[in-house]
């Protein structure tokens, strides 16, 4: 297990940038280690595919804990939903995604407050995609013997590959950078020369398509 602990630290580091202040980093690492133990128990003897499987389990365990803690204060959640609803209305009115300047002008918020909203929105998108993948994983696990870990991973991977084919090239790249290279939204934005808000939009579009394929 010791050889895989850097994976836990890497996942915590990625998520910490999306949910800053939500929980103590040490606590998240402990939850991540429990996720790693669960991955080892479910998978059996690790092979070259284990890292991808373990990463999903570790991320899922941490995000489950954050949801359990309900880490956003009530007022923050209300403001988040207010901004999201207003942006959806503005998008319908314009017939396209508004620019950051247009969004801020319509919302009457500062650049700092808008960036806080984007961080929360991107964290929610990340959580939703992790949940989708983990639910797909668990639905398969319920139908097979627990010792058939490697075989289950192959089936899960093939299903996800099929879902990825429904995405356009940029959407596939965002998912790849997030799940294969463990990059944060900020890092993905830098790699693709996009704004963080645009990365969030792409990840949400990808999530919608993947849900349809995996349903």
Q: How far is Cα 140 from Cα 105, in angstroms, rounded to an integer? A: 47
Residue 98: φ, ψ to 5°: -70, 155
- Asked whether 17 and 62 are in contact (CB, 8 A), the reply is no
More confident residue, 18 or 138: 18
Min mean pLDDT across 32-36, 39-43, 102-106, 158-162 is at: 158-162
Who contacts 81 (Cβ-Cβ below 8 Å, separation ≥6)?
none
Helix or strand run (H / E) with residue 98: none
Q: What is the pTM of this model?
A: 0.46
With cut-offs at 50, 70 and 90, classify the pLDDT of residue 71. low
Residue 131's pLDDT is 59
Residue 205's pLDDT is 85
Q: How far is Cα 7 from Cα 13, in angstroms, rounded to an integer? A: 10
Residue 150's alpha-carbon distances to 59, 80, 137, in angstroms, are 19, 40, 12
Q: What percent of the chain shows pLDDT beyond 70?
A: 67
Mean pLDDT in residue range 148-159:
56
pLDDT in tens, 107-136: 888 877 777 677 666 656 555 555 555 555
- Asked whether 55 and 11 are in contact (CB, 8 A), the reply is yes
Q: How far is Cα 204 from Cα 125, in angstroms, rounded to an integer? A: 6
Q: Is the pLDDT of residue 145 over 50?
A: no
């Amino acid at each position: 297990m010791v050889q895989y602990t850097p994976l836990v630290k890497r996942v915590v580091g990625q998520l910490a940038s999306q949910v800053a202040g939500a929980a103590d980093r040490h606590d998240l690492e402990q939850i991540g280690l429990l996720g790693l133990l669960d991955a080892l128990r479910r998978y059996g003897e690790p092979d070259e595919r284990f890292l991808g499987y373990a990463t999903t389990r570790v991320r899922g365990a941490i995000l489950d804990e954050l949801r359990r803690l309900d880490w956003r204060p009530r007022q923050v959640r209300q403001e988040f939903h207010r901004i999201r609803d207003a942006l959806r209305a503005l998008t319908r009115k314009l017939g396209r995604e508004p620019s950051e300047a247009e969004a801020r002008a319509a919302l009457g918020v500062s650049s700092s407050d808008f960036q806080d909203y984007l961080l929360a929105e991107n964290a929610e998108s990340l959580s939703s995609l992790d949940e989708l993948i983990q639910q797909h994983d668990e639905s398969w696990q319920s139908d097979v013997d627990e010792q058939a870990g490697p075989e289950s991973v192959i089936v899960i991977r093939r299903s996800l590959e099929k879902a990825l084919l429904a995405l356009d090239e940029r959407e596939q790249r965002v998912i790849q950078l997030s799940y294969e290279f463990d990059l944060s939204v900020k890092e993905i934005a830098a790699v693709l020369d996009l704004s963080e808000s645009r990365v969030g939009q792409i990840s949400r579009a990808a999530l919608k398509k993947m849900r349809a394929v995996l349903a």
